[in-house]
Amino acid sequence: MTSTRTEAATAAPDVRGKARLADREGFLAWAMLLPSVVYIVALVGVPFLLAIAFAFSDVTTGDPSFDFVGFDNFRAVFDDGVFWRALRNTLVFTLASMVLIVVFGKILANILVADFHGKWFVRFLVLLPWTTPVALSTISWLWFLDSIYSPVDWVLRHLGLIDGNVVWLGRPGTAMASVVAVQAWRLTPLAAVIVMAGLVAIPRDIDEAARIDGAGFWRRMVEVTIPLTLPVIAVAALFGAIMTFTDMTVSYVLTRGGPTHATDVLASWAYFRGIEGGDVGQGAAIALFLFPLLLAGAIAILRAVRRLEAG
Partner 1 sequence: MTTPVRTGGDMDALRRRYALRHLAARCGVYGAAVLAALVCALPFLWSLVSAFKQNRDLYNPQSNPFAFNEPATPDHVTFLFTDTPFLTFVGNTLLVGALVVAVTLLLALPAAYSLARLDRPWGTPMGIAIFMVYLVPPSLLFLSLTRVVVTLGLEDSLWSMVVVYPTITVPVSVWLLIGFLKAVPKDVEEQAMVDGYSRIGAFLRAVLPLLFPGVVAVVVFSFTLTASEFVYALAFVSASPEMVVSTGVPTQLVRGDVFFWQSLQAATVLTAVPIAFVFNLFLDRFVTGFTMGAVKT
Position 246 contacts partner 1 (CB under 8 A): yes
Which residue in 35, 62, 70, 203 binds partner 1 (CB under 8 A)?
Answer: 35
Q: How far is CA 157 from CA 11, 153, 154, 162, 166, in A?
A: 86, 6, 5, 5, 10
First to last CA, the chain: 40
- Binders of partner 1 among residues 78 to 117 (CB under 8 A) are 107-108, 111, 114-116
- Binders of partner 1 among residues 177 to 236 (CB under 8 A) are 185, 188-189, 193-194, 196-198, 200-201, 217, 232
| Least spacing, CB of residue 95 vs partner 1, in Å | 18
Which residue in 78, 219, 275, 303 binds partner 1 (CB under 8 A)?
Answer: 275
Q: Are 101 and 184 in contact (CB under 8 A)?
A: yes
Q: How many residues bind partner 1 (CB under 8 A)?
A: 106
Which residue in 86, 187, 284, 293 binds partner 1 (CB under 8 A)?
Answer: 284
Task: Round to whole Å and give the CA distance between 175 and 252.
Answer: 12
- Binders of partner 1 among residues 110 to 169 (CB under 8 A) are 111, 114-116, 118-129, 131-141, 143-144, 148-149, 151, 154
Task: Round to whole Å and give the CA distance between 62 and 230.
Answer: 51
| Least spacing, CB of residue 187 vs partner 1, in Å | 12
Which residue in 56, 93, 271, 272 binds partner 1 (CB under 8 A)?
Answer: 271
The backbone region for 164, taken as left when phi is positive above 0, alpha when psi lies in -120 to 50, beta otherwise, is: left
CB nearer to partner 1: pick between 88 and 303: 303
CB nearer to partner 1: pick between 87 and 126: 126
CB nearer to partner 1: pick between 68 and 116: 116
Task: Round to whole Å and give the CA distance between 253 and 137.
Answer: 10
CB nearer to partner 1: pick between 222 and 302: 302
